[in-house]
Amino acid sequence: MHMPGRLLKSIFPRGLYGRAALILLVPVVTLLVLVSVLFVQRHYERVTQQMTSNFVLVVGYLRDRADAAPDAQAAEEALAETGGSLDIEASLVAAPRDVVFDQIAPFDLSSRLVLQELSQRLTGLLAQGFEEGRVVVWVEGAHGIYELRFSANRVAARNPHQLLVIVLVAGAVMSVIAFLFLKNQMRPILRLARVAEAFGRGESLPYHPSGATEVRAAGQAFLEMRKRIEDHIEQRTLLLSGVSHDLRTPLTRMRLALSMMEDEAEAQALLADVAEMELLIDRFLEFARGQLAEAPVPVRLRALVEARLAEARRGGQQVELRPGVDPEPIQIRPGLVARALDNLIGNATRYGTRAELEILQEPGQVVVRIEDDGPGIAPEDRATALRPFVRLDPARGASAGAGVGLGLAIAADAVRQHGGRLELGQGDRPGLGGLAVRLVLPT
């Protein structure tokens, strides 16, 4: 049942212009062809049949005049005289002449119909055909064989294919004009789609509603929705920033008080708790900052990766970059991608001992692949691992280090804002074989 539907989907165009053209042209062309064919078949056939029937009566009258003559010479004179008055070249011959008839073109429907009607309606017909555009027939008479030549316009409406040509040309011209009008109506829809797609990647492009009333309403609704989302993001960021500022003051006082405590061991434990609280605040703010707008600029991804690796090595992390391609600059927000790389590198070295990065160029996208030698993540937990504030300690090693469950969420959100995706898998390189993360960015 679903096979015809899948077949039609594979044949039909996927773009809005292509589908609009299909919706516009198929009914118009079908209607024009049906009307033209039916008109030619019914009108021209009936006209030709009527004209041929009338002409058969004329030929019968001409043959009766010739048959009434007393001898062959008188019959030939009667043929010439009566035929001349009827615009027919008529003569008396001993036998049909050897004539090479004209070939009838495949699209010449009238000529075929004329010969068919004459053979059915004209009695005593010996031969017929077209010679130099005129109809030639030989019929039996009382004094011999009568040769008749006359114009094909006497028995048929000529050139019926011209109607088809005129109708199809006019239909094509009107279809082009209609498609141009339709294209102008679709342009605001496509522009709205581009702006909405850009907003999904974190870009706020200028947009002014235009087009039909319904398209303007959709555009205005999109602008209002975008404004509410931006206001919500800004409000949340300001809220987290305020909370951070309010919390840092008492944490600083606690740090100073702990530094003056006599019990050094207990003070160190409490200072570690204070440091972890500060880390939590920093990661919350980092996650919130990922939603803020940053202008995309052309960036060489390999240079950005090398810079983040150099920073990681200065922090004591064991990370390497495999030799590979250096893609052309792509439009990204470098700060956002840098934070995503830092989190992925930090995760890889926190739950493993070393990590290896590789840049791959694939059709329509560029990929940064990061593989570590840690325990990895079970396939059923990979979707959950990308959610904010989720820690998979049993899978990733609870003693490997502190974390608040935002590393992968920050990276996934950053990549999503570029129209890309973050893929988690199992590594397969010798000496590693831990979690393999693919950071996919469109080019």
Establish if 257 belongs to a structural domain.
Answer: yes
Question: Which domain, by its residues, includes 93?
Answer: 3-162
As a whole number of Å, the CA-based R_g of the chain is 44
User: Please, which residues bridge with residue 404 across strands?
Assistant: none
DSSP state of 159: -
The answer to whether residue 38 sits within a structural domain is yes
Q: Are 137 and 148 in contact (CB under 8 A)?
A: yes
- The two three-digit tokens of residue 122, written as one number: 């004209």
User: At which of 162, 181, 201 does a domain end?
Assistant: 162
Same-domain status, 259 and 317: no
Could you report the per-residue pLDDT of 389-443, keeping only the tens digit for each?
A: 666 654 444 344 445 566 788 788 888 878 888 899 888 888 888 899 999 998 8
pLDDT at residue 194, as a whole number: 87
Burial state string for 264-300 with b = 16 or more CB within 10 A and e = fewer than 16: eeebeeeeeeeeeebeebebbebbbbbbeebebeebe
Asked if pLDDT for residue 34 goes beyond 50, the answer is yes
pLDDT in the model for residue 108: 67
Contact of 279 with 402, CB cutoff 8 Å: yes
Same domain, 394 and 414: yes
φ, ψ (nearest 5 deg) of residue 175: -65, -40
- Do 268 and 361 lie in a common domain? no
Residues 52 and 104 in one domain: yes
The DSSP call for residue 293 is -
Contact yes or no for 343/318 (Cβ under 8 A): no
303 inside domain: yes
- Residues in Cβ contact with 82 at an 8 Å cutoff, skipping those fewer than 6 apart: 61, 62, 65, 66, 90
Higher pLDDT, 103 or 346: 346
Poorest-pLDDT segment among 122-136, 319-333, 385-399: 385-399
User: For the chain, what is the domain count?
Assistant: 3
pTM score of the predicted model: 0.52
- Which of 152-161, 343-352, 408-417 has the highest average model confidence (pLDDT)? 343-352
Q: Mean pLDDT over residues 92-117, rounded?
A: 73
Find the CATH number of the domain harbouring 343: 3.30.565.10
Q: At which of 239, 274, 293 does a domain end? A: 293
Q: Are residues 321 and 408 in the same domain?
A: yes
Q: Are residues 83 and 52 in the same domain?
A: yes
Mean per-residue pLDDT, 254-280: 75
Does 423 fall in a domain? yes
What percent of the chain is modeled with pLDDT above 70? 83
Q: Is residue 202 part of a domain?
A: no
Query: In what helix (H) or strand (E) does residue 217 lie, and over which residues does it extend?
Result: helix 213-259
C-alpha span between 200 and 337 (Å, rounded)? 16
DSSP string, 354-406: -EEEEEEEETTEEEEEEEESS----GGGHHHHTSTT---HHHH-GGG----S-
Helices (H) and strands (E) in the chain, counts: 13, 11
Q: Are residues 12 and 148 in the same domain?
A: yes
User: Between helices 161-200 and 16-39, what is the axis angle to 10°?
Assistant: 170
Clarify whether residues 403 and 355 are in a common domain: yes
Alpha-carbon gap, residue 142 to 67, rounded angstroms: 5
pLDDT computed for residue 438 by the predictor:
92
How high is the pLDDT of residue 395? 45
Tell whether 273 and 285 lie within a shared domain. Answer: yes
Angle 276-282-284 from CA coordinates, rounded to 5°: 105
- 128 and 217, same domain (yes or no): no
**Same-domain status, 272 and 299:** no
Residue 375: the pLDDT is: 87
Give a yes or no: residue 171 inside a domain.
Answer: no
Q: What residue spans of 122-212 are helical by DSSP H? A: 161-200
Tokens of 273: 């708790």
pLDDT at 369: 92
For the segment 239-265, the average pLDDT, to the nearest whole number, is 74
**How would you list the strands of the sheet with 355-362, edge to edge?**
319-321, 355-362, 365-372, 435-442, 421-426
High-pLDDT (> 90) share of the chain, %: 7
Other Cβ atoms less than 10 A from the Cβ of 397: the count is 14
Question: Is residue 186 domain-resident?
Answer: no
Q: DSSP secondary-structure letter at 316?
A: T
Give the mean pLDDT of the chain. Answer: 80
Residues 14 and 151 reside in one and the same domain: yes
Strand partners, 367: 360, 440
- Tell me, what's the pLDDT at 396? 46
Q: Which of 230, 261, 293 is the last residue of a domain?
A: 293
Q: Predicted confidence band at 224 (pLDDT cuts at 50, 70, 90)?
A: very high
What pLDDT sits at residue 402? 47
Higher pLDDT, 30 or 200: 30
Within-domain flag for 204: no
| DSSP track, 85-108 | HTT-EEEEESS-----PPPPPTT-
Position with higher pLDDT, 313 vs 154: 313
pLDDT digits over 5-26, tens only? 566 666 767 777 777 777 777 8
* 100 Cβ neighbours under 8 A, 6+ residues apart: 131
Ranking 63-67, 83-87, 96-100, 183-187 by mean pLDDT, the lowest is 96-100
Q: What is the pLDDT of residues 178-213, one digit of tens each?
A: 888 888 888 888 899 888 887 876 677 888 888 888
